């Protein structure tokens, strides 16, 4: 009898379970879960904090998911080492779980710089998990002054979740713009202005030099008083389990398009991995929910003896802040990299497209996001722009930009 072991219990793990069961309905699956919760949608924790959703609505699958798919879940348990030679996983509470096929879906962890005086801050939190959210929720009050270090996706979603629940929110970042990983100099300022209109304050191009209990002394000399601190500087892929047994690791665990690592019978999926980005033409960590699921499903199929590849991964984001919607995808290849940039922009919205070698490589949409999935499909499928009416697409994501034959194939008979 085979035994499948999945280390991790996030979206990638759910995909892996469903991938395995699409091929093998009999052999045992063991899931190692560091948390005590069933699989849930991490992006929804800010909406829970804000009061826009409830715990029973952030689950990624139904309550009977594991029973339905014949899984044994070990909650509040951590894998501490992989015994590659003997095909076993050593557990933090003792014992070893044998495996025939293993999927490492360990996700990522918050990166917290070693700020001087940080240990003296009493109310200090991360914002990555549901338990982080519970702890933060207990610490805040209507009079709380919150300082968030990090103006990326995690930090700003935390700010949105805390909005109207605390007295004030200040977000600081060493970068000179917010959301620096997905926005550029044309789009970040307009989003920042919108967030400031909602009452979020920013301190950019500055960093914390040291903490003095409830004061952050910035490098610029500015002093920020706070009661609650949230560190959202960034995340790092959890690669240790694979790296320490000689598996190939860069910023993430290196996988091929079957989600195989460099080790026999060991697969990896989700935020801990590094795969090929077709929009970039190179490897990078693609820590995104849709990619995590597709990677996990692909790994599961192959673990069970099937054949599946995932070879069209791209970075993509679809997010909203206080009703302002943003979509981005692909790589932002500018003129210095041999690309061409097309932009339509006014005071509150922007469309920006990045083209190279006759292909759409990336886009940024602020406010005008309708049918943005059409642009994503152009990138994923590497559709030559000469085969579509790209001038029309730049104005409007319309099905009419495609030939009648393509419309029938892609959009179910739309002619």
Question: Following DSSP, what letter does each residue of 229-249 receive, concatenated?
Answer: EEE-S-EEE--HHHHTTT--B
Tell whether the model's pLDDT for residue 404 goes beyond 80.
no
Does residue 182 sit in helix, strand or coil? Answer: coil
DSSP-derived pairing of the beta strands 168-173 and 145-149: parallel
> Which positions ≥6 away from 412 have C-beta within 8 Å?
none
- What integer best gives the mean pLDDT of the chain? 94
For residues 399-404, average pLDDT: 77
For residues 373-388, average pLDDT: 92
Tell whether the model's pLDDT for residue 410 goes beyond 70.
no
CA–CA distances in Å: residue 310 to residues 307, 331, 372: 11, 18, 22
How many other CB atoms sit within 10 Å of the CB of residue 166? 17
pTM of the entire structure?
A: 0.92
Residue 173 has a pLDDT of 97
Residues facing residue 140 across a β-bridge: none
Give the percent of the chain with pLDDT over 90. Answer: 83
Residues facing residue 329 across a β-bridge: 316, 363
Structural domains in the chain, sorted by start? 3-41+60-108+236-303 (3.50.50.60), 118-233 (3.50.50.60), 325-410 (3.30.390)
Poorest-pLDDT segment among 156-160, 224-228, 286-290: 286-290
Residues facing residue 96 across a β-bridge: 90
Residue 89 has a pLDDT of 98
Cα separation of the two ends of the chain: 52
Residue 165's pLDDT band, with cuts at 50, 70 and 90, is very high
Residue 153 has a pLDDT of 95
Poorest-pLDDT segment among 27-31, 50-54, 152-156, 265-269: 50-54
Tell whether the model's pLDDT for residue 414 goes beyond 60.
no
Residue 347 has a pLDDT of 86
Tell whether the model's pLDDT for residue 182 goes beyond 80.
yes
Tens-place pLDDT, residues 237-279: 999 999 999 999 999 999 999 999 999 999 999 999 998 888 9
Residue 77 has a pLDDT of 96
> Which positions ≥6 away from 17 have C-beta within 8 Å?
6, 29, 31, 65, 66, 69, 71, 296, 300
Question: What are the phi and psi torsion angles at 396 (to 5°)?
Answer: -160, 130
Tell whether the model's pLDDT for residue 415 goes beyond 70.
no
Residue 223 has a pLDDT of 97
Residue 411's pLDDT band, with cuts at 50, 70 and 90, is low
Residue 343 has a pLDDT of 95
Tens-place pLDDT, residues 92-110: 999 999 999 999 999 999 9
Chain position carrying tokens 């469309």: 351
Cα-only R_g, the chain? 23
3-class SS shares of the chain: helix, strand, coil, % to 5:
25, 30, 45
How many other CB atoms sit within 10 Å of the CB of residue 372? 20
Residue 336 has a pLDDT of 87
Looking at residue 345, the DSSP 8-state letter turns out to be: E
Tell whether the model's pLDDT for residue 408 goes beyond 90.
no
Give the percent of the chain with pLDDT over 70. Answer: 98
State the DSSP H helix or E strand holding residue 295, giving kind and residue range, or none if neither.
helix 289-303
Tell whether the model's pLDDT for residue 405 goes beyond 80.
no
Residue 407's pLDDT band, with cuts at 50, 70 and 90, is low
């Amino acid at each position: 009898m085979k035994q499948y072991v999945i280390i991790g219990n996030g979206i990638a793990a759910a995909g892996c379970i469903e991938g395995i069961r699409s091929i093998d309905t009999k052999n045992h699956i063991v899931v190692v879960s560091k948390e005590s919760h069933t699989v849930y949608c991490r992006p929804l924790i800010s909406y829970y904090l804000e009061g826009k959703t409830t715990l029973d609505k952030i689950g990624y699958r139904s309550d009977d998911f594991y029973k339905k798919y014949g899984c044994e879940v070990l909650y509040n348990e951590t894998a501490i080492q992989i015994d590659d030679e003997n095909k076993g996983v050593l557990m933090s509470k003792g014992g070893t779980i044998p495996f025939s096929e293993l999927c490492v879906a360990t996700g990522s962890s918050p990166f917290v710089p070693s700020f001087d005086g940080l240990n003296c801050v009493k109310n200090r939190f991360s914002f990555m998990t549901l338990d982080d959210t519970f702890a933060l929720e207990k610490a805040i009050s209507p009079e709380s002054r919150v300082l968030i270090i990090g103006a990326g996706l995690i930090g700003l979603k935390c700010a949105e979740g805390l909005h109207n629940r605390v007295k004030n929110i200040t977000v600081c970042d060493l970068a000179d713009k917010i959301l620096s990983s997905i926005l550029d100099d044309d789009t970040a300022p307009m989003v920042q202005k919108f967030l400031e209109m909602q009452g979020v304050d920013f301190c950019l191009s500055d960093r914390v030099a040291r903490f003095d209990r409830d004061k952050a002394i910035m490098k610029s000399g500015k002093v920020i008083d706070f009661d609650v601190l949230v560190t959202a500087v960034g995340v790092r892929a959890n690669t240790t389990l694979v790296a320490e047994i000689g598996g190939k690791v860069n910023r993430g665990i290196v996988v091929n398009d079957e989600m195989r690592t460099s080790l026999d019978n060991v697969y990896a999926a989700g935020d801990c991995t590094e795969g090929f980005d077709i929009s970039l033409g190179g490897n990078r960590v693609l820590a995104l929910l849709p990619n995590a699921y597709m990677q996990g499903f692909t790994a599961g199929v192959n673990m069970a003896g099937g054949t599946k590849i995932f070879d069209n991964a791209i970075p993509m984001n679809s997010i909203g802040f206080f009703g302002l919607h943003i979509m981005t995808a692909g790589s932002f290849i500018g003129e210095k990299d041999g690309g061409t940039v097309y932009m339509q922009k006014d005071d509150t919205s922007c469309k920006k497209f990045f083209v190279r070698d006759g292909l759409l490589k990336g886009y940024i949409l602020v406010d005008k996001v309708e049918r943005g999935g059409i642009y994503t499909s152009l990138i994923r499928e590497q559709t030559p722009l000469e085969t579509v009416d790209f001038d029309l697409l730049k104005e409007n994501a319309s099905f009419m930009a495609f030939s009648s034959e393509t419309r029938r194939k892609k959009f179910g008979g739309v002619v």
